[in-house]
């Protein structure tokens, strides 16, 4: 880490590195990168919505890379900060957001994230005036191979019910009234009443936060995007175009 420290505290310090906390026995690694142009883009385009997502496996130490993105006037995703952390705990995320908050001209109307509770809690602590919305793609992937192993076990061997489950999510996403959402949830429990663990999972983990992922909780101007795909598109552009050449 000595060479990294020399680089981050030297040549890059004033033009790229916004905040740097070296790893030590007492502290975890924190690197926040934001160029002046990133800050300008944040202040110009970051009033409605800021997208936040983590990418893994991009460095040999296994540190997660968080990317914060806004959408420009052409609908393209542009990064406004990169965060590299020694761990993904809420306290670490909260620290980085507190450091970044002064670079916002105003608090955005909302942040869009996947269903990561540490991210959600950190955003709510630092930007309590902003809403948190869930990426629709991650919501609809709850029973897929990308879900956690514990969740996958719930949905294993339930192929006959997968259509009803997908229908539940797809019909609930565009619902504009909370009472309609509750009605859809009741229908879901009736259709899958024999799958008690699945119903319990949905009731405990998704119904209470329906306002984060169903349309009745986002009925205001938030730039209209419903997924974090802008981040993934930009990441793929960097990985497969800029880096490969």
Q: Which residues is 111 bridged to in the sheet? A: 50, 132
pLDDT digits (tens, 9 = 90+) for 145-161: 455 565 556 556 555 55
Cβ–Cβ < 8 Å for 93, 122: yes
Give the pLDDT score at 223.
Answer: 63
- Say which residues have a Cβ less than 8 Å from residue 53's Cβ, sequence separation at least 6: 66, 67, 113, 114, 135, 228, 231, 232
Give which of 93, 92, 37 is closest to 70, Cα–Cα: 37
Look at residue 174 in the predicted model and tell me its pLDDT: 84
pLDDT in tens, 167-208: 777 788 888 899 999 999 998 889 888 888 778 888 898 899
pLDDT higher than 90, residue 18: no
Block residue for tokens 């259509």 = 163
Which pTM value belongs to this model? 0.81
Let me know: does 112 contact 133? Beta carbons within 8 Å: yes
Those residues whose C-beta lies under 8 Å from the C-beta of residue 44, and which sit 6 or more positions away, are: none
Strands 131-134 and 65-71, bridge-based pairing = unpaired
Flag whether pLDDT at 144 surpasses 60: no
Residue 10 has pLDDT above 90, yes or no: no
- The class of domain 2-135 in CATH terms is alpha beta
What is the per-residue pLDDT across 90-124, written as a single tens digit (0 to 9) for each? 999 999 999 999 999 999 999 999 888 999 999 99
Q: Which part of the chain is CATH 3.30.420?
A: 2-135
**Mean pLDDT rounded to a whole number for the chain:** 81
Structure tokens of 159? 């192929």
- C-alpha–C-alpha distance, residues 11 and 14, integer Å: 8
CA 207 to chain centre: 19
* 3-state DSSP of the chain: CHHHHHHHCCCCCCCCEEEEECCCCCCCCEEEECCHHHHHHHHHHCCCEEEEEEECCCCCCCCCEEEEEEECCCCCEEEEEEEEECCCCHHHHHHHHHHHHHHCCCCCCEEEECCCHHHHHHHHHHCCCCEEEECHHHHHCCCCCCCCHHHHHHHCCCHHHHHHHHHHHHHHCCCCCHHHHHHHHHHHHHHCCCCHHHHHHHHHHCHHHHHHHCHHHCCCCCCCCCCCHHHHHHHHHHHHHHCCC
């Amino acid at each position: 880490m000595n060479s990294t420290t020399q680089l981050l505290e030297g040549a890059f310090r004033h033009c790229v590195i916004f905040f740097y906390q070296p790893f030590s026995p007492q502290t975890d690694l924190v690197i926040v990168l934001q160029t002046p142009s990133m800050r300008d883009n944040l202040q110009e385009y970051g009033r409605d919505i800021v997208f936040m997502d983590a990418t893994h496996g991009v460095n040999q130490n296994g540190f997660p890379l968080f990317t914060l993105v806004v959408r420009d006037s052409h609908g393209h995703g542009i990064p406004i900060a990169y965060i590299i952390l020694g761990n993904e705990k809420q306290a670490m995320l909260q620290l980085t957001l507190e450091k970044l908050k002064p670079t916002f001209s105003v608090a955005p109307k909302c942040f869009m994230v996947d269903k990561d509770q540490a991210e959600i809690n950190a955003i709510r602590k630092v930007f309590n005036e902003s809403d948190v919305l869930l990426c629709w793609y991650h919501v609809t992937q709850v029973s897929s191979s990308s879900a956690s192993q514990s969740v996958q076990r719930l949905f294993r061997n339930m192929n006959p019910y997968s259509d009803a489950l997908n229908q539940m999510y797809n019909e609930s996403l565009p619902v504009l009234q909370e009472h309609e959402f509750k009605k859809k949830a009741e229908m879901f429990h009736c259709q899958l009443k024999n799958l008690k663990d699945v119903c319990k999972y949905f009731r405990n983990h998704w119904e209470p936060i329906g306002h984060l992922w169903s349309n009745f909780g986002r009925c205001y101007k938030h730039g209209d995007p419903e997924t974090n795909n802008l981040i993934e598109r930009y990441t793929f552009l960097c990985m497969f175009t800029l880096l490969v050449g």
